[in-house]
Amino acid sequence: MSEVLVFDNLLKRYHENKLAHAFLLETNDISRCYEDVLIFIKKLCCPHTFSIECKENCNLCSLIDADNLPSLITINPDGQFIKKGQILDMMEKFSTKPVFTNFNIYVIREAERFNSSSANTLLKFLEEPEDNILGIFITNNKENVISTIRSRCQIFSCYYKGNIADNLNDDILTDVKLYLKAIYNNKDDLLYNKTHMSGYYSDRKDWEIFFNTMLYYLNDCYSSDRLDKIELVKNISKCNLVKVIILIEEILKYIKSNGNIDLILDRFVIEMRNYYE
Ligand SMILES: [Zn+2]
């Protein structure tokens, strides 16, 4: 999901009282994701309606910017790992209720860098979650996060299109749009894969760029008024567009994990049929 979707979704959950005690954000850009997490925290905690002007006029937002809010702790790996001592320090500080905010919040950057002793220490915290403690874990690969932690988090992916846009190539975008047009509501979509797409790119990396371009384009169609929206985008609901975006993220994972490209394309067109209206 694009960052816009993820943080909108989290805020919505918060207002519906459905925010989990801990969530894991998988991202392609840890620094940008961390910046967005801080904005998200300001939106949760700011006593005014958070706005960019809060920077100057709001004590709480200023404390967050200065990394001086007692109820917010960011943990970075100390050397190669996140150490047990860092977790114990945080737990001690959070043994009292927060004063200025509704939550004590910890943010773990590079959550894949727990070792077993720091993970075990944190686990006690995760197993008996308290209402006023919120944990946010950021990683660039959730598969590398110790499973005992991962399994206790709600997981979201947060992809920044800036990185993808760097590789965005107009020719590939044209290919993407032609492909989506060709399979849209086409009963012979599987045949189209066979006759037109099989072997279209010989290199797996090129397929990755192709689907990343598709992801970028559809995310952008979701969050802005692109003039070059194709029929498929115009005709499906926003809700289904989000599902298509999630499907493409899945497809990218299969490509990265060496799945057979012809089978992946077939899976893609079959699942896409669910979202045409
Ligand atoms: Zn504020």
CATH of the domain at 17: 3.40.50.300
Q: How close is the Cα of 63 to the center of ligand 1, in Å?
A: 9
Report whether pLDDT(262) > 70.
yes
Same domain, 120 and 97: yes
Please give the average per-residue pLDDT across 66-79, as a whole number.
Answer: 93
Last residue of a domain, one of 159, 181, 216: 159
Same domain, 178 and 137: no
Q: How close is the Cα of 248 to the center of ligand 1, in Å?
A: 36
Report whether pLDDT(252) > 90.
yes
Report whether pLDDT(2) > 80.
no
Same domain, 182 and 58: no
Looking at residue 167, its pLDDT comes to: 55
Q: What is the pTM assigned to this prediction?
A: 0.61
d(CA 9, CA 23): 12
Looking at residue 127, its pLDDT comes to: 87
Q: How close is the Cα of 130 to the center of ligand 1, in Å?
A: 25
Last residue of a domain, one of 159, 179, 199: 159
Last residue of a domain, one of 128, 159, 190: 159
d(CA 39, CA 47): 14
| pLDDT tens-digit series, residues 119-141 | 999 998 888 878 789 999 999 88
- Take residue 161 and report the two structure tokens written for it: 């299109």
Same domain, 135 and 256: no
* Domain assignment of residue 191, given as a range: 163-275
Same domain, 142 and 255: no
Same domain, 154 and 171: no
Q: How close is the Cα of 152 to the center of ligand 1, in Å?
A: 30
Same domain, 125 and 26: yes
| pLDDT tens-digit series, residues 218-245 | 988 887 778 889 999 999 998 999 999 9
Same domain, 122 and 258: no
Q: Tell me whether strands 133-139 and 154-158 are parallel, antiparallel or unpaired.
A: unpaired
Looking at residue 145, its pLDDT comes to: 94
**Comparing C-alpha atoms, which of 191, 186, 182, 125 is closest to residue 153?**
125
User: What band does 261 get if pLDDT is binned at 50, 70 and 90?
Assistant: very high
Q: How close is the Cα of 105 to the center of ligand 1, in Å?
A: 16
CA angle 11, 60, 78 (to 5 degrees): 80
Determine contact, residues 25/156, Cβ cutoff 8 Å: yes
Q: How close is the Cα of 49 to the center of ligand 1, in Å?
A: 7
Q: Is the dihedral of CA 207, 6, 42, 101 positive or negative?
A: negative
Looking at residue 162, its pLDDT comes to: 58
Q: How close is the Cα of 67 to the center of ligand 1, in Å?
A: 14
Please give the average per-residue pLDDT across 3-28, as a whole number.
Answer: 86
- Take residue 78 and report the two structure tokens written for it: 């100390």
Report whether pLDDT(164) > 60.
no
Q: How close is the Cα of 195 to the center of ligand 1, in Å?
A: 57
Q: How close is the Cα of 37 to the center of ligand 1, in Å?
A: 15
Same domain, 179 and 99: no
Please give the average per-residue pLDDT across 149-162, as a whole number.
Answer: 86
Report whether pLDDT(21) > 60.
yes
Same domain, 112 and 79: yes
Q: How many domains does the chain have?
A: 2
Determine contact, residues 277/244, Cβ cutoff 8 Å: no
Same domain, 150 and 20: yes
**How much of the chain, in percent, has pLDDT values that exceed 70?**
95
Same domain, 106 and 34: yes
